[in-house]
Amino acid sequence: MAGHPVNNKLEATTDMWRISQQCFADNIRSEMTLPDKVQLNDITLREGRQLPGVSLTRDQVLSIADALVESGVTMVQMHHDDPSEMEEVKKRFPHVLIDALVHPTAVLNPELAKPEIDMNYDHGADYCSLAFSFSEHQMCLFESMAGKRISIEEAIDRAIGSTAYAKAKAGKNRKVGCLIQDCTRIPIDRLAEVCSKLVDAGADMICLDDINGMAIYRVYTHVVREMKRRLPGTEIALHTHNDIGMAAAALYAGLEGGADIIHTCVNGLGERAHIACLAEVASVIQLYYGLDCGIKLDKMTSLSKLVSETMPWPMSDTMPFVGKTAFSHLVEVHYCVPDTEEGFWSYLCMKPELFGNSQHNLLGHYSGPWAVRAKAKELGLVIPDGKEENVIEKLRSKIKDVRRQINDQEFINILENL
């Protein structure tokens, strides 16, 4: 499907990508317990707003929601602090699942949880996700969440009460989620025991939240796989952070363990070091794993730019798939290939148009004759024979002066003043 490619035939080589055939080797795939389908839950309108200086108007929220849905997103997580936003998004897009997160400061006190739960379901939420903490490392939070100092066992009892109330309110057509903070620092048997009690109380989905990257990626495969095994019929979601640079790796590991729902955010925005990026995760899942997330990959670049401009929060040029330099070369050896289809694949594995992006010729200190000729050709110019070294000398001098990437006009000026 145009704009919505899924590598369901597990092909290493097509006209749009050339990736490692080992991705699809039986001995590699046999180690995975992939789900039959995976749901991306984009949390740009919740976690993505937890940044200094970010405060969105209603129109800006709806603009981002429109772009997310246009890009194929079918589940979004939103704050419960402005339920009218959820209501408006649900009216515009009845088919989109709204996941309303309720913070732990409310849910460990059932009396405080009830009005929050009512409000979310009454304003269009399909899931009401209650954020709990049962980790011994977070016991200091219990007093503020419960209104008094309580034990972990008391916290579990209170969580069961909130979950049961949410299930009664949800009815048959809506779902209850339980988000478990600090999931990887809770012993696996204890985690399963607590989650089983929450499922018995009415939880339809358990979301495993690592809070800030507590484990190596294999742990996520193990934890998700165990929860799938011990809680049959329960949706298992995964929320990871990039504090140790492994948010996306942890998501893929969880996917290989069978995760049904995974959290992403446009441009990877979020607390501290951010979370996994929608464009990256959707692209890898659809092309490398061959699972359909429903995402229109050719909308990813425009979506990333819109969110960057709306927040406003800078979007890195080097962002995979959607960044300005994602498909661009600088070092000379990358230009020492024929200007043909085969030459293109020498140093790239994806076509930029697959993601609504384009290729550029970059210039820097390590640019040589091939690079400057390629840049001149891009601009419709020709460097006179034998003048390449002069261009390179002037280019390096200019870069040393301005200490940044030179723009097209500055390069044109160099050529005009040979």
* Residue 4 to residues 11, 293, 374, Cα–Cα distance (Å): 16, 9, 32
Q: Which long-range contacts (CB under 8 A, 24 or more apart) does 99-102 make?
A: 99/41, 99/75, 99/125, 99/126, 99/127, 99/129, 99/177, 100/125, 100/127, 100/128, 100/129, 101/46, 101/77, 101/129, 101/131, 101/179, 102/128, 102/129, 102/130, 102/131
Distance of CA 178 to the CA centre of its chain: 20
Residues 6+ apart with CB under 8 A from 400: none
List the pLDDT tens digit at each of the 418 positions of the chain. 568 999 999 999 999 999 999 999 999 999 999 999 999 999 999 999 999 999 999 999 999 999 999 999 999 999 877 889 999 999 999 999 999 999 877 777 888 899 999 999 999 999 999 999 888 887 777 777 767 788 889 889 999 999 999 999 999 999 999 999 999 999 999 999 999 999 999 999 999 999 888 999 999 999 999 999 999 999 999 999 999 999 999 999 999 999 999 999 999 999 999 999 999 999 999 999 999 999 999 999 999 999 999 999 999 999 999 999 999 888 888 888 888 888 899 999 999 999 999 998 899 999 999 999 999 999 999 999 889 999 999 999 999 999 998 899 999 999 998 8
CA dist., res. 45 & res. 297, Å (int): 20
Structural domain spans, the chain: 21-310, 332-416
Give Rg (Cα) of the chain: 25
In 173-331, which ranges are E strands?
A: 175-181, 205-209, 235-239, 261-264
Bridge-partner residues for 358, per DSSP? none
Amino acid at 310: T
pTM of structure: 0.93
Give the helix/strand (H/E) hosting 282. Answer: helix 278-284
Q: Judge contact between 52 and 274, C-beta under 8 A.
A: no
* pLDDT for res 2: 63
CATH number assigned to the domain covering 21-310? 3.20.20.70
* pLDDT for res 337: 85
Evaluate the CA torsion angle 25, 30, 31, 33 in order and state its sign. Answer: positive
Structure-block tokens of residue 340:
């043909």
What is the number of alpha carbons within 13 Å of residue 37 lying toward its C-beta? 4
* pLDDT for res 380: 93
